[in-house]
Structure 1
Amino acid sequence: MVVKKRAAVIAALSVFLLLMLSRPSHQQFSNYSCNCYRECYLECKHAFPMLCKVVCGGSCDDKNDPVAACMVACTKDSLCGVPAAPSGAAYCSHACNDTWGRHGRAKVP
């Protein structure tokens, strides 16, 4: 029963990831986001490199949609010229939802 649920969740996340990739407005990081990502990654890579895509990808989004930005970061081997630590796309996507999905869409101050 647990295995079936886990497989269903992984399948749903994979479909969600494919849908997110079809949104062209979120496939490229802006200059602001890239500068933020580079700074974040330099600090992050020594502490917990496997989660840098999740933390930096979601926190450096200028479109106020951290889940989508995190998902885009998960699909790239190199983001903004910074090579990222390898992580499985399914694990990374799950971590995006756990980290950024609970809080909903970020509010603009």
Structure 2
Amino acid sequence: MAVKTIWQITHSCGHQAARDLSDRAADRRAGFAEWLAKQECTACWRAAKGGDEEDKAAWLEAKRAEEQAESDAWSEQYRNTVVLPYLAPAAQAVRDAECVAVAVDVAIVRTPNTK
């Protein structure tokens, strides 16, 4: 005896459709068919959901504006704040760099050229 794979579904909206449930396990097809019968058919579901796209777009635009405002507020808060670590005064940094440069020059002069 063959296992039933095509089910005739009468949706809650009154429309009927033949559904291929072969992608479901055989012991779960009847339960899924019952669940489908409690749902609207695909066409009715899409028609009912069609108006939601405009609401979703408006919500998304408002959400992005809110996030941008939060980002701008955070940016403004930290714009003038020094977040770099303390650096040595410029004069001291120049002296340190000159000492390093002299040490490198001395090391280069004292290194024998073996070529």
TM-score band by shorter chain is: under 0.3
- TM (normalized to structure 1)? 0.22
Q: Which has the higher contact order (CA 8 A, sep 6+)?
A: 1
Q: Quick check: which one's helix share is greater? A: 1
